[in-house]
Amino acid sequence: SEDAPLVAPIYDMVVVSNRLPVDYVGGEGAETQWKSSPGGLVTALEPVMRANDGAWVGWAGVADREFDPFEHDGISIVPVPLSADELEEYYEGFSNDTLWPLYHDVIAPPSFHREWWDAYVTVNRRFAEAAASVAADGAVVWVQDYQLQLVPRMLRESRPDLVIGFFNHIPFPAFGIYSQLPWRRQVVDGLLGADVIGFQRAADAGNFSRAVRRLYGYKTRGTIVEVPEEDGEVRHVVARHFPISIDAAAFEELARKPEVQERAREIRRSLGDPDIVMLGVDRLDYTKGIRHRMKAFGELLRDERLSVQQATLVQVASPSRERVETYRQLRDEIELTVGRLNGDYSTLGHPAITYLHHGYPRQEMAALYLAADVMLVTALRDGMNLVAKEYVASRYDDDGVLLLSEFTGASDELRQAILVNPHDIEGLKDAMVEAGSMPKRERARRMRALRKRVKENDVANWSATFLETLTGVGKIAPGVSGP
């Protein structure tokens, strides 16, 4: 009925992530307004959530505000509050200035602060309690990402009836790096509360298993970790890779729209109709190798292996984590580089680099993908990298060249890309020239193979595979419509 409480242990499927799939827009009480934030995870999980009476537990994106649970587009939303201090210590601090750099192979130095760890524990406990308060007896709870690594253990302690999954969206580092973490035992123990721990790459799962052996001495056999329980029983935890993907059909559909194609042509005209449009699309993050690709491109112009009439670089760098100092520094460095390169090489009507520090609607992204002859994904470390897959999915015309860093999860699957080591600037320059001059037949051959892979393993397949592993085939409804 209308008055039935939304916070009751009635949901058979609960997703827990730092951010909710909705953004708070404004208003108070009954007037509170929300809008969907269309991320890949939402697309992946929406059908499963609807088919299984699902609830989504997470933070609404504003500090110091409490919201009652509500329904949005057929999904029950359970907001978890965060104070401004917690946001600073748990989110910007421990999650984004300790774990993020550590898990990305210390590209930037991680900061270790005991107060940040304390906030991380406190906030993880709050998320675990919120999930426990809405999960039905025997429910499936799927916890997402590095901000919430302690939640699986906390949930298992309070609710041993639950089936608990965890998916790590970012890399899991080699033990030599991971072992720097002062709370390395607690984090591994937190994760081992899950029944299934998912990673992007086989190498990540391997690194995790090694950490378990080194820190706890537990036996591992293939993808199984044998966790001794207090009652003397051994619990089998699965730790393996489940490479995430995108809604490939949705990207193709977008790219096929006449207005998107017209927009792609317009973008090329506005760039001075060069022969080669190179594109980078990233959150402005030091893991993405934006400086490396700009350095390589600048040297190609300097050496006159390329000219601005011939080639131009468009870099979308969407604003990210702007209150964390490392990100402010990175922004300054990139903007200095863009200014220098444009000052040195642009001519009127022929920009060397078009730098855009904005987020764009998805439709505009599809037009950019279509407009780009060469997609540059030069991450120094990246769990998967969805941009690479989105570019491929958009290219229904079997054209365009993907240049892809070996240090992305995507490179395990997208073998027909031009694979590069972004630290090797000479190699990167050669690869950029090769990509720009690749014959059409060769482009088509590679793109067809890439597209086949992305279509076969799309995001619906990813979530279905994870949930099947978690529950045993058939126990929860896949929620995928159609054949």
Smallest distance from the beta carbon of 257 to ligand GDG, in angstroms? 15
- CA–CA separation, 150 vs 396, rounded Å? 42
Smallest distance from the beta carbon of 156 to ligand GDG, in angstroms? 24
168: number of CA atoms within 13 Å, CB side? 37
Per rule CB under 6 A, is residue 67 in the interface with ligand GDG? no
Contact yes or no for 428/296 (Cβ under 8 A): yes
CB closer to ligand GDG out of 69 and 243: 243
Among 44, 141, 170, 464, binds ligand GDG (CB under 6 A): 170
CB closer to ligand GDG out of 11 and 407: 407
Q: Give the list of residues 6+ apart from residue 424 with CB closer than 8 angstroms, or none.
A: none
**Which of these segments, 50-58, 109-117, 378-386, 461-469, binds ligand GDG (CB under 6 A)?**
378-386
Binding track over 274-303 against ligand GDG, x by CB under 6 A: -------x-x--------------------
Smallest distance from the beta carbon of 365 to ligand GDG, in angstroms? 5
- CA–CA separation, 51 vs 276, rounded Å? 46
CB closer to ligand GDG out of 222 and 319: 319
- DSSP annotation of 147 reads G
- CA–CA separation, 59 vs 305, rounded Å? 49
Contact yes or no for 176/199 (Cβ under 8 A): no
Smallest distance from the beta carbon of 7 to ligand GDG, in angstroms? 29
- CA–CA separation, 140 vs 161, rounded Å? 10
- Sheet (strand 418-420) strand order: 353-356, 311-318, 276-283, 374-377, 401-405, 418-420
Per rule CB under 6 A, is residue 359 in the interface with ligand GDG? yes
Contact yes or no for 225/237 (Cβ under 8 A): yes
CB closer to ligand GDG out of 337 and 408: 408
Q: Give the list of residues 6+ apart from residue 341 with CB closer than 8 angstroms, or none.
A: 294, 297, 298, 301, 352, 353
Comparing CA positions, the residue from 160, 43, 165 lying closest to residue 472 is 165
Among 365, 374, 380, 414, binds ligand GDG (CB under 6 A): 365
Per rule CB under 6 A, is residue 195 in the interface with ligand GDG? no
- CA–CA separation, 285 vs 302, rounded Å? 26
Per rule CB under 6 A, is residue 169 in the interface with ligand GDG? yes
Q: Which DSSP helix (H) or strand (E) runs through 59?
A: strand 54-59
Per rule CB under 6 A, is residue 362 in the interface with ligand GDG? yes
Smallest distance from the beta carbon of 304 to ligand GDG, in angstroms? 32
Per rule CB under 6 A, is residue 414 in the interface with ligand GDG? no
Among 76, 326, 337, 385, binds ligand GDG (CB under 6 A): 385
Per rule CB under 6 A, is residue 360 in the interface with ligand GDG? yes
Per rule CB under 6 A, is residue 319 in the interface with ligand GDG? no
Per rule CB under 6 A, is residue 206 in the interface with ligand GDG? no
- Residue 293's CB is within 10 A of a number of other CB atoms, namely 26
Position 461: which residue type?
N
Per rule CB under 6 A, is residue 254 in the interface with ligand GDG? no
Contact yes or no for 374/275 (Cβ under 8 A): no
Among 254, 316, 374, 459, binds ligand GDG (CB under 6 A): 316
Per rule CB under 6 A, is residue 382 in the interface with ligand GDG? yes
Q: Across the strands, what pairs with 278?
A: 313, 374
Pairing of strands 276-283, 311-318: parallel
Smallest distance from the beta carbon of 114 to ligand GDG, in angstroms? 26
CB closer to ligand GDG out of 183 and 286: 286
CB closer to ligand GDG out of 132 and 279: 279
Smallest distance from the beta carbon of 276 to ligand GDG, in angstroms? 22
Total binding residues toward ligand GDG, as defined by CB under 6 A: 20
Among 54, 79, 243, 383, binds ligand GDG (CB under 6 A): 383
- CA–CA separation, 324 vs 97, rounded Å? 7
Q: Give the list of residues 6+ apart from residue 212 with CB closer than 8 angstroms, or none.
A: 188, 192, 218, 220, 225, 239
CB closer to ligand GDG out of 103 and 178: 103
Per rule CB under 6 A, is residue 40 in the interface with ligand GDG? yes
**Which of these segments, 17-25, 218-226, 347-355, 376-384, binds ligand GDG (CB under 6 A)?**
376-384
Smallest distance from the beta carbon of 221 to ligand GDG, in angstroms? 27
Q: Give the list of residues 6+ apart from residue 20 with CB closer than 8 angstroms, or none.
A: 37, 56, 58, 59, 60, 61, 77, 79
Footprint on this chain of ligand GDG (rule: CB under 6 A): 40, 169-170, 244, 281, 283, 316, 318, 359-362, 365, 382-387, 390
